[in-house]
């Protein structure tokens, strides 16, 4: 069993006495992303063996694993950028003289939407922003929106469900739909709950992180754990 951690140490001398302090921070972004890969693989296995499975159980399991893939991908994105900001001695933290207030404050960076945090990171490093019209950025945005639609679920007959209809239009054609359901079933909770969406979610997450890292190059060692998931 292993845990991803980061550590920083400092030594101070006062009146001839040396004192040392060590900060150890447990990181969870890679664990979230690893979980997403596990859930995606289960979706693929279920669909590959669908004819031999109890259809009701397969339908339930497929929705569980597909939705878990989306949740874990989104959690991995946000956890990773938070960890890059928080890392003591890291490039981003060093750009913020008042880190506690600027990052954790009532209107701080931590409260921004996940993708906005990536934009802020590039701004702080004085690097060009990611193109919001690029397909990989749009895919990451769609992933977050799809996760939000599940977390803040509202029935299709609810008046505020219009955003879900718009989301369906944006997502159309981005991934194969679930083998369960029909064209009239709910797009988010039925037709997207399959191996196609799960595979797209993981691939989109890793592609977005790869592009961000290509621009920012913040922590090469940390990203090794992420790239290992691309295999």
pLDDT in tens, 42-95: 999 999 999 998 999 999 999 999 999 999 999 999 999 999 999 998 999 999
Question: What's residue 10's pLDDT?
Answer: 46
Contact (CB, 8 A) for 70 and 197:
yes
DSSP string of 32-101?
HHHHHHHHHHHHHHHHHTGGGS-HHHHHHHHHHHHHHHHHHHHHHHHHHHHHHHHSTT-HHHHT-TTHHH
Mean pLDDT of the chain: 87
Question: What's residue 19's pLDDT?
Answer: 58
Q: What is the pTM of this model?
A: 0.85
Read off the pLDDT of residues 109-149 as tens digits, 9 standing for 90 and up.
999 999 999 999 999 999 999 999 899 999 999 999 999 98
Most confidently modeled of 6-15, 97-106, 148-157?
A: 97-106
Question: What's residue 9's pLDDT?
Answer: 46
The span from the CA of 60 to the CA of 222, in Å, is: 35
Domain extent listing, the chain: 28-230
Place of tokens 């950028």: 81
User: ∠ CA 4-143-176 to the nearest 5 degrees?
Assistant: 115
Q: Using alpha carbons, select from 92, 44, 74 the residue that is nearest to residue 147.
A: 74
pLDDT at 3 over 60: no
């Amino acid at each position: 069993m292993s845990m991803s951690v980061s550590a920083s140490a400092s030594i101070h001398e006062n009146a001839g006495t040396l004192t040392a302090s060590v900060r150890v921070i447990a990181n969870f972004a890679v664990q979230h992303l690893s979980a997403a890969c596990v859930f995606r693989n289960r979706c693929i296995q279920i669909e590959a063996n669908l004819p031999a499975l109890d259809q009701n159980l397969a339908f339930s399991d497929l929705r569980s694993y597909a939705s878990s893939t989306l949740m874990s991908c989104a959690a991995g994105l946000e956890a990773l950028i938070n960890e890059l900001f928080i890392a003591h001695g890291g490039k981003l933290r060093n750009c913020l003289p008042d880190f506690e207030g600027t990052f954790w404050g009532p209107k701080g960076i931590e409260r921004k939407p996940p993708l906005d945090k990536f934009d802020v990171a590039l701004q702080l490093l004085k690097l060009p922003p990611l193109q919001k019209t690029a397909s990989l950025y749009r895919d990451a945005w769609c992933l977050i929106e799809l996760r939000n639609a599940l977390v803040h679920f509202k029935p299709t007959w609810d008046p505020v469900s219009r955003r879900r209809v718009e989301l369906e239009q944006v997502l159309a054609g981005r991934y194969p739909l679930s083998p369960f359901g029909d064209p009239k079933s709910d797009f988010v909770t039925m037709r997207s709950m399959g191996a196609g969406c799960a595979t797209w979610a993981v691939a989109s997450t890793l592609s977005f992180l790869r592009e961000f890292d290509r621009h920012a190059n913040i922590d090469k060692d940390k990203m090794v754990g992420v790239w290992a998931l691309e295999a």
